[in-house]
Amino acid sequence: MLIALASLVSGMVALYLHLWKIGKAGSLACGGTGGCAFVQGSKYGWFLGIDVALIGTIGYALIFVVAFMGTTSRWADDPLITRALQLLIWPAVLFTLRLKWAEFVILKSFCPWCAVSAVTITLCAILVTLDAKRLSVAES
């Protein structure tokens, strides 16, 4: 349930950033640092020609759907849900590491909205790892 909630929140943040980038969300609220616009407008705000915020929006939507399915009685203890979440979350962790490295090391900047996503995907990774451990213990 916590993975579903966290992915919903970060998915909304990613959607906000994407809408801002395409000119549909007005000004970017960034706490006065200016780092958000700088990071979003850099070449690291794009991956293979696709807006990173759009990738995040879609990724978090997929995580939300799978995690929400896992909250139903039919799927609650099904290891397929946990495996699917692992397949979605762990590549996102690696992608986030790449983005945070570029943000801090190359751009020497900080985007608070991006930090929300980094914290969320880290939390999701911890939770899905704990769930995989729970299921492996249950199988023993």
Query: Is the distance from CB of 43 to CB of 52 less than 8 angstroms?
Result: no
The answer, yes or no, to whether residue 71 has pLDDT greater than 80, is yes
Confidence of residue 140 (pLDDT cuts 50, 70, 90): low
Q: Which has more confidence, 27 or 114?
A: 114
DSSP state of 140: -
For the chain, what percent of residues have pLDDT higher than 90? 75
Residue ranges with strand state E in 35-98 = 46-47, 50-51
CATH superfamily, domain 2-139, is VKOR domain (1.20.1440.130)
Tens of pLDDT, residue by residue over 40-57, are 889 999 999 999 999 999
Question: In the chain, where are the structural domains located?
Answer: 2-139
- pLDDT greater than 70 at residue 33: no
d(CA 67, CA 140): 24
Whole-number Å distance between alpha carbons of 55 and 33:
24
Residues 53-65: pLDDT tens digits? 999 999 999 999 9
* Residue 61 CB neighbour total at 10 angstroms: 15
Dist CA 122 CA 44 (whole Å): 20
